[in-house]
Amino acid sequence: MGEQPARRVRADARRNTDALLEAAAAVFATSGVDAPVREIATKAGVGVGTFYRHFPKRSDLVAAVFRHAVDACADEAPALAAELPPDEALERWLLRYTDFIGTKRGLAAALHSGDPAFDALPGYFDARFRPALEGLLAASVEAGAVRGDVAANDLLRAVANLCGPAWDAGADHARRMTALLVDGLRYRSG
């Protein structure tokens, strides 16, 4: 049998999915990934049955929330590149990525739980973030605004490391450290 054409998703179903993803992300940020389904459904303005039709298992929801957040962050790279000078676009995106990492700390335990539903997520993360950053970094290097001896993967890892917990550092510590990292990229540029 040949491939089935992709089914079009009804507009109301798409709205429900989007509402559930946004609600889940907000609830996860305050209550963790084990928050009650009813809390997420209520915040999304849908019934529990609608929730389970879209996400039969909690791991389906967690993976979808993660992908949705990755896409939103990665999709900002070309928009920033179109409106800002290259080094400013790079800095703004790295700060956006810093915020992404900081707000996803609660998902880390779920993602490393051994649940096979999460196996593809590291590859998804890399496939979306690395090209987004590579484009911004290449434009900044070409403009002579940042040094050319740094790889996108190194920056992704560096920012992730800067987002780790620091003793008595305050809420904006990771953003300050990322800004410092970007200043270091500018050193010996051109």
DSSP-assigned states of every residue in 90-108: HHHHHHHHHHHHHHTHHHH
Four-point Cα dihedral 123, 73, 154, 140, nearest 10: 130
**Number of Cα atoms under 13 Å in the Cβ half of residue 3:** 3
Span 101-117, average pLDDT: 76
pLDDT single digits (tens) 123-137 = 999 999 999 999 999
Question: Rounded distance, CA 51 to CA 40, Å?
Answer: 8
5 — pLDDT class (breaks 50, 70, 90) = low
Give me the residue label for tokens 């434009």. 139
Query: What is the Cα gyration radius of the chain?
Result: 19
Give me the residue label for tokens 């790279």. 77
Are the C-beta atoms of residues 93 and 133 closer than 8 Å to each other? yes
Question: Rounded distance, CA 24 to CA 17, Å?
Answer: 10
Span 156-180, average pLDDT: 83
Q: What is the CATH number of domain 58-186?
A: 1.10.357.10
What whole-number percentage of the chain has pLDDT above 70? 89
pLDDT single digits (tens) 48-70 = 999 999 999 988 998 999 899 99
Are the C-beta atoms of residues 52 and 59 closer than 8 Å to each other? no
- pLDDT at residue 105, as a whole number: 63
Q: Which of 11-20, 42-51, 135-144 has the lowest mean pLDDT?
A: 11-20
CA 158-160-161 angle, to 5 degrees, is 65
Question: Rounded distance, CA 7 to CA 62, Å?
Answer: 23
Domain boundaries, the chain: 1-56, 58-186
Span 91-110, average pLDDT: 83
Return the CATH fold of 1-56.
Answer: Arc Repressor Mutant, subunit A (1.10.10)
